[in-house]
Structure 1
Amino acid sequence: MKKMFDRLALSLLPLPLLMAAAPPSYPEKLRDETLAGDAVAWDIVEDLTTEIGPRLAGTEAEARARQWAVKRLKALGFHNVHIEDATMATWVRGAETAEIVSPFPQPIVVTALGGSGATPPEGVTAQVVGFDSIDALRAAPAEAVRGKIVFVSHAMQPNQDGSGYGYYGAVRRSAPAVGTQKGAVAVIIRSLGTDYHRNPHTGLTSWNGVAPIAAGALPIPDAENLERMLKRSRNVTMHITLTPRFVGNTATGNVIADVPGTDPDAGMILVGGHLDSWDLGTGAIDDASGVAIVTAAAKKIMEAGRPRRTIRVIWFGDEETGGAGSRAYFATHKTDNVVFVGESDFGADRVWRYVSGFAPANKPLDDRIAAALFPLGINRDKGEVEAGADLGAWIHAGSPGADLGQDGTRYFDYHHTPDDTLDKVDPKQLRQNVAAWTAMLSLVANAPEKIEKLPPRPERRQ
């Protein structure tokens, strides 16, 4: 009878007291400690952006960043810290100027897209022909383009999941090559951004076997100004000078660091982000934050004791200008027993959704992760796991994985611009990211069950 009354009394306790009466589990404890004040990730972002700054792939700055990363990861206590070298075709920026010559003379702001060809040193002057989409450019007859400077706009808008970037990104990836094939002397685009700062957004363009010509991006205020000019006159003339150059093959590489596991047969976990950045800003949100988040989470787990599965942290080289680092890593390690992958490469704002890719047999593990993430305001969502540009190959090869989706509402205000700097990183939201990764990785790393592989998944072509 006493037991019955005890149970009745317990059931009448306020909910917060009931919750407090249950001791937190191991992943919950690590999660909550991280959320309360872990500073490892912030220190990495601050120090990398301050002591190295811009880290364009293949350059001396990226080489310094790799050496810096080795020292930092060793100091943090990681094991097997080393660099795996790769080579890449390297592109560097040159002079960048533009102006409207007539009928509305004024300077405009431009930056070269990654992989852009060059104008003559004195630049080129030509009539501008405008298109409101990549499809409109593709449909245009060659005679409408030949000998002109092509301008391509688009209608990308901010959204939480950042999905507009994939769709509208075709303007940056493909418009210069299409313009080249139709005889343009240069191609400029409205930046793939959502801000109204007078900062252009750079990013890689693809030539698909055609000879590169000058290709640049205008900040959105200047792009909209050019659109207004084209509505007023069919004879807008621009002078543009872009003198980037290709400097041949140079070194890049991946920095590797391990948290050794106790059971080699249980498989390895790969997490990462990319060390390189574009050269306009200091690469704080893209992607110093990403490498910092996964590294801080792995360190927290390492400090709590040796996990069952090895966690490998990878700071990839050359993500921005072609992916030489990820290709080299996959080629070397594709026979490794990788049972889980995850990448952080979408800034540092709060994680709001969890998308998983496990075999049906591992649904209990999937459920445990979702439950551990829920108190952080993270909801389980449907969709295919991508695991980013650097680890996506493992997903397509059949490794399980997950995406912790950050809020991308403001990400494309700063992406690939001079504004990608430390002040854009919110320390509180950064800690929430680390807490989420810590909870997820601790559960995967110590899961007692076998983590099953999945059938290979064909890659989608854009």
Structure 2
Amino acid sequence: MNQIKIVALVAFILTAPTFASNSLIPVSKETKEMAVSLRDKAIKDDSAYEILKSLTTEVGARHPGTPGEKAGIEWGINKLKALGFDKVYTEDVKMNGWVRGIETAEVLIPSYQKLTITALGRSKSTPEGGLEAQIVHFESYADLEKAADGSLKGKIAFISNRMERFKNGAGYGRANIARSKGHELAAKKGAEALLIRSIGTDDHRNPHTGATNVAMGYTMVPAVALSNPDADQLVRLIGYGHSPKIRLNIQTKDLGAIVTKNVIGEMTGRELPNEVVVIGGHLDSWDLGTGAVDDGAGVAIAMATATLIKNNTEMRPRRTIRVILWGAEELGLIGARAYAKAREADGTIANHVIGSESDFGAGPVYGLQSSDNISENAMHVVDTMAGLMGELGVTRRSGNTSGGPDMMPLAALGVPALNLMQDGTDYFDLHHTPDDTFDKVNPEHMRQNVAAWTVFAFIAAEWPGSFK
């Protein structure tokens, strides 16, 4: 930034008029110019990629209750300090821990074949040594609902619904009910266990784990995901007229009460330090891969965004930029719920002016979406952000948003949100699998993400008006 622009920005800040809270406050020329300058620096900067490399290489998987999670928390604290955040702290999050152990399955009839499986989150164990039972096939959760209660006694319920591939991940919610609630329904029908086709779009022999709707303890019956090729194999066997019998052995452990942490870093605002713009990702991951796309990428993007703004502006934005690395997202937004509950209790929820989470992988941002509670007098600011992101291939999009999974508890309390929509065409090929590793991330896409996030975070923190 040259000296003339710096002088002009200082003059604008010192002479900026005050506006009524319900006035249409423009985004100043100086603010837009600075946002463009930051965007253009970010598109050439590999900081996020390097942060992600460090996290996935030096720490690896970060499942709650494991040594990897503890190492990830320490890594987050140390990295935020090394990047120069003004304030770095943690907040304890109480939860009930769960870890997987033995996971094996094989077809016994009509022919011996090994199956590739993984336990779903909080799955209970089978009897020690496993259980053997015939599978009963249902093409969807809705089909299992039609079975008579108790009719599957001594059997294993098998749901084979296939997730559809969409750029915005729209097929996930429709397919995911089999994973989240299938164990309850299988138990109601009398089944000994639940077997589902993985909730994913790939054709690799990698099963997809994921959460069930169990806040603590165990599922009602053992709940297991098959890799998609193995699910297809069972469907074909049934198509040939066979009634496959399988042996399933799942041994998991309830860790009881444990404490994880949200890790938080702040770049303090120059005029309104108590007003915060929230950006972030979740620090925990499933244990099968190294949590690169889910959600190491989001962690790295948020950290790099705030750091780039700090390092390339003469004066900090008006408001504080708060980077939250939420804990225990994968087992039910546990860290996010604790964070929102604490802010509601201490009365600081109103200080959260706007927020967004990056938790949809590392694909390029293609759209900018806003929550319905953003006021009409602030919509032009979001439109300005989208316009400045235009050179990155981003367009303004309609539709309501909560700003990402970990933003949902804050959004429910009225915090305005934006969604920087990422191309998730291949996200569910990797999601919750052993294939979620650093080599799958494109450094060019990471740069583009940081460029878009920098425009959002800087303008949101610098613009003096209210988004409500």
Give TM-score scaled by structure 1 length.
Answer: 0.90
CA offsets 1:302-339 (integer angstroms, 9 cap, x no match)? 12131101010000110001222111111111322111
> Any idea what the Cα deviations from partners look like across 1:195-254, whole Å, max 9, x if unmatched?
111000000112589863211100110000101111223521010100011110111110
Are 1:319 and 2:329 counterparts? yes
CA pair 197-47 structure 1, distance change in 2 beyond 3 A: same
2:362 partner letter: A
Question: Which of 400, 403, 420 is the matching residue for 2:419?
Answer: 403
What per-residue deviation string (whole Å, max 9, x for no partner) do you get for residues 391-438 of structure 1? 112222222120001101000110000000000100000100000000
How do residues 296-315 of structure 1 correspond to structure 2 at under 5 angstroms? 296-303=304-311, 304=313, 305-315=315-325
Partner of 1:39: 46
Contact 1:330 1:393 in 2 (8 A): yes
Cα gap change, 1:187 to 1:362, in 2 (>3 Å) = same
Task: Report if aligned partners of 2:157, 2:194 keep a CA contact under 8 Å in 1.
Answer: yes
- The answer to whether the Cα contact below 8 Å between 1:174 and 1:207 also exists between their aligned partners in 2 is no
Give secondary structure in 2 for the equivalent of 1:159: coil
Q: Distance in 2 between matches of 1:401 and 1:330?
A: 14
> Compared with structure 1, are the counterparts of its residues 42 and 261 closer, same or farther at alpha carbon in structure 2 (3 Å cutoff)?
same
Comparing 342-351 with 296-305, which one deviates more in the overlay? 296-305
TM-score, scaled relative to structure 2: 0.89
1-side partners of 2:96 and 2:206: how far apart? 27
Between the aligned partners of 1:24 and 1:404, the Cα distance in structure 2 is 18
Within 5 Å, give how 1:58-457 maps onto structure 2: 58-207=65-214, 212-264=220-272, 267-303=275-311, 304=313, 305-334=315-344, 335-336=347-348, 337-357=351-371, 358-448=374-464, 450-453=465-468
CA shift, 1:23, in A, is 12
Name whichever of 252-261 and 52-61 sits farther off. Answer: 52-61
Shift of 1:73: 0.3
1:271-295 deviation digits (Å, cap 9, x = unpaired): 1110000000000000010011011
Cα deviations across residues 330-353 of structure 1 (Å, max 9, x unaligned)? 111132211101000000010111
Q: Given that residues 119 and 223 in structure 2 are in contact (C-alpha distance below 8 angstroms), is that contact kept between their aligned partners in structure 1?
A: yes
- How far residue 184 of structure 1 moved from its aligned partner, in angstroms, is 0.8
Q: Does 2:69 match 1:55?
A: no
Aligned residues of 1:92 and 1:244 also touching (Cα < 8 A): yes
Pairwise CA RMSD: 1.7
| AA of the residue aligned to 1:427 | P
State the alpha-carbon separation in 1 of the partners of residues 451 and 393 from structure 2: 11
Conserved 8 A contact 1:275-1:316: yes
Three-state SS of the structure 2 residue aligned to 1:243 is strand
1:265 deviates by: 7.2
Partner of 1:62, secondary structure, is helix
CA shift, 1:104, in A, is 2.6
Q: What displacement does 1:301 show?
A: 1.1
Question: What is the rounded CA distance, in whole Å, between the counterparts of 1:44 and 1:391 in structure 2?
Answer: 22
Q: Deviations over 1:133-166 (max 9, x none)?
A: 0000111113431210111011312110001101
Aligned-partner SS, 1:95 = strand
Corresponding residue SS for 2:353: strand
Aligned to 1:17: none
Is the Cα contact below 8 Å between 2:102 and 2:252 reproduced in 1? yes
3-state SS, counterpart of residue 170 of structure 1: helix
Q: Which amino acid aligns with 1:259?
A: M
Report deviation, 1:58: 2.6
Whether the 8 Å contact between 1:35 and 1:431 is mirrored in structure 2 is: yes
CA distance in 2 between counterparts of 1:399 and 1:67 reads 29
Whether contact under 8 Å (1:152, 1:171) holds in the other structure is yes
Structure 2: where are the runs of 5+ without partners? 1-29
Say if 1:98 and 1:238, in contact at 8 Å, map to a contact too: yes
Between 345-354 and 153-162, the greater mean CA deviation after superposition: 153-162
Structure 1 vs Structure 2: percent identity of aligned residues?
43
